[in-house]
Amino acid sequence: MADSNSAKAFPVSWDQFHRDCRALTWRLNEVGPFHAIVAITRGGLVPAAIVARELGLRIIDTVCVASYDHDKQGDLQVLKGVSDAVAKLGGGTGKGLLIVDDLVDTGKTGRLVRAMMPDAHFAAVYAKPKGRPLVDTFITEVSQDTWIHFPWDTALSYQPPIRDGRA
């Protein structure tokens, strides 16, 4: 796991993220139908909203897992599990549920959520090699030492040229 200070930077704009979420939805449309979406918070909230709109899904729940402190991954803490009503829709194993996250990185969060809903379909917009085996559908794979700068975590600012070695 690379932290944001030592990794390759991969900035993603709002436009690009929206395009990637729609591309993910095109793939998911062929896999469904789904009863509900379960977003892994916080990163999965934005892609879950886009996917839900595109697939016409109205039931959206969350699994709240804390693992990052801005730029370093720490111990996992489940803050909220899936609701009983949504768990029932998935027959207790997640069948027919769609788990959505922005990124599967080391796979720690993915393994935890998979254990909660082993039969759910797990989708992420981006995947790194260590986490990739845990997701059923994703759009873009990036190297393990890449730090993705999501649009909700960034602001417009000057960036030095790559040749200066600071980008």
Catalytic residues: 101-102, 105
Residue 15 phi/psi, 5-degree rounding, is: -60, -45
Both tokens of 127, joined, read 């995947």
Helix (H) or strand (E) holding 25: helix 14-29
DSSP-derived secondary structure letter, 164: G
Both tokens of 166, joined, read 């600071």
Whether 107 and 115 have beta carbons less than 8 Å apart is answered as no
